[in-house]
Amino acid sequence: MSNAPHYPIDVAAFWADPYPDLARMRKEAPIAYVPQLGSTIFTRRDDIFSQEKRIDVFSSHQPQGLMNRMMGHNMMRKDGDAHMSERTQMFPAVSPRAVREAWLAKFKAHAERILDELAPKGQADLVKEFALPLSGECLKDITGLTNIRYQEMDAWSQAMIDGIANYAGDKQVEARCHAATAGIDAAIDDMLPVVTKQPNASILSVLVAAGQPMESVRANVKLAISGGQNEPRDAISGSIWALLTHPAQLALVREGKAKWIDVFEEYARWIAPIGMSPRRVAKPCNYRGVDFEPEDRVFLMYGSANRDEACFEHPDRFDIMRDTSKSIAFGAGPHYCAGAFASRAMVADVALPAIFARLKNLRLDTREPVRIGGWAFRGLLNLPVAWDVN
C-alpha cells in the first residue's frame, strides 16, 4: 500500500463536488492515497505536468486496466513507439487541416438543422436537445459510423465511460459496457465495405487505409467514441450554462472584448470535462518523498490541476479574460488529446456562436435546477432554458 498520506473521501460527495476535497489535498497532501479509489492521486498542476511525461515510471500501458478489458487495447493505453505509430495513423482524420477542410462545414450544417427544429419551441433541455445531438452527429462523421443514430453514439459513449470508471466492479455497469462495444463492432462491420470502396477522411477509413490491424482499429474507434462524445457534449452545455450564470462574461464576447474560443478554454479549465487520467507504476520510484512500487495505480487529476492556486489566481472563478496557457484540460504529455482540434471547432466555432445568435434572450428556466456531477468525467446532467420565440 502507498506510503503517501491517506486522504479518505465520501464517494457520493466527491462525485457531486470534488473541488473542496481537491483544494484541501493540494494544500495539505498534494500526493495522497485515497483508499476509496484504491489509488494515489496527484493534485498539483506542476507535479502532473512534469510526471505525466515520465512514461517509463507512470505508464499508460495497463494490461489489466478497465479500459483494456472493456474496450480493447487502444493507443491511449500504449506508450512510446506503439502509441505514436497509431496516433500518427489517426492524425489525418483529426488534424487542424482535416477539421478545417472536412469537418467544419458538416459541424455547422448539423448545428443549423438542430436549431431549426429547436427554435420554435421556446424552451428545452439543451443537454438532451442540443449538445448531445450535435456532438453525436459530428462524431458519427469523424468516426465514419454514419450508419447509426446519434442516440446510440451517446448511449455507447456513456456506457463505456461508466465501464472504464467502474472501480467498484458493478456487474450491471460492466454488462452495459460490453453491450455498447458489441454494438460498435457491428456498426464497424457494416461500414467497412463502404470505407474500403470509397475512402474518406473518417477515423475508420484512415486507420483501415493505413493498414492498422483490425483489433487496433476497433479499439481506437471505441476510444474516439468514449471521449469524443462526452467531452464536447459537456463542454457545449457547460459553456452555455457558465455564460448564462455569468452575464458579464457573455457581455464581453458580445462586445468583442473576448472570443468564443476564450469561453471554451476557460470552461475546460474551470470544469475539466475529463477530470482524471490513470497511470500504472512501471518501476520503483520516489517522488516528493512518496514511494511508488510497480503495479501501483496513480490518478492524474486534471480537474484539480486546473484549479491550482499556484498557477491560477482565484481559480474557482469563471473568467474568460484570464490566461489559460497553463491549463492541462487536454493533458500535458505524449497522450495530449488527439481530438482537441475537433472539439475546439465544434464548441467555439460552431455551437456557441450559433446558439447565442439563434435563440433570442436565452435564459435559464428556473423551474428546474441545473444538476452537475462527476470527477473522472464531469459535466451537466441537464440544462433547462427558455428563449423568446417571437
> Could you give the angle at which helices 214-228 and 80-94 cross, rounded to 10 degrees?
60
Cell numbers given for 227? 471521449
User: What confidence tens digit (pLDDT) does each residue in 95-138 have?
Assistant: 999 999 999 999 999 999 999 999 999 999 999 999 999 999 99
Domain ranges of the chain: 11-388
How many whole angstroms separate alpha carbon 229 and alpha carbon 181?
A: 15
* More confident position, 333 or 290: 290
Per-residue pLDDT, 69:
74
Mean pLDDT of the chain: 93
Q: Is the pLDDT of residue 78 over 90?
A: no
Identify the CA nearest to 174 among candidates 187, 165, 183: 165
Q: How far is CA 172 from the centre of its chain?
A: 23
Residue indicated by cell numbers 417571437: 390
Q: Is the pLDDT of residue 255 over 80?
A: yes
Q: Is the pLDDT of residue 336 over 80?
A: no
Where is 40: in which H helix or E strand? strand 39-42
Furthest-apart CA atoms within the chain: distance in Å:
66
Lowest mean pLDDT among 55-59, 261-265, 382-386: 55-59
Instruction: Give 359's pLDDT tier (boundaries 50, 70, 90).
Output: very high
How many whole angstroms separate alpha carbon 253 and alpha carbon 187?
A: 41
Percent residues over pLDDT 90 in the chain: 81
Q: Which of 63-72, 224-233, 251-260 has the highest mean pLDDT?
A: 251-260
Burial class (CB in 10 A: 0-12, 13-18, 19+), 255: exposed
Q: Is the pLDDT of residue 64 over 90?
A: no
AA letter at 21: D
| Sign of the alpha-carbon torsion through 222, 223, 225, 230 | positive
Instruction: Give 73's pLDDT tier (boundaries 50, 70, 90).
Output: confident
CB 352 within 8 A of CB 240: yes
Domain 11-388, architecture per CATH: Orthogonal Bundle (1.10)
Residue indicated by cell numbers 492556486: 309
371-385 mean pLDDT: 95
Q: Is the pLDDT of residue 1 over 70?
A: no
**If you ran DSSP here, which 8-state letter would residue 346 be given?**
I
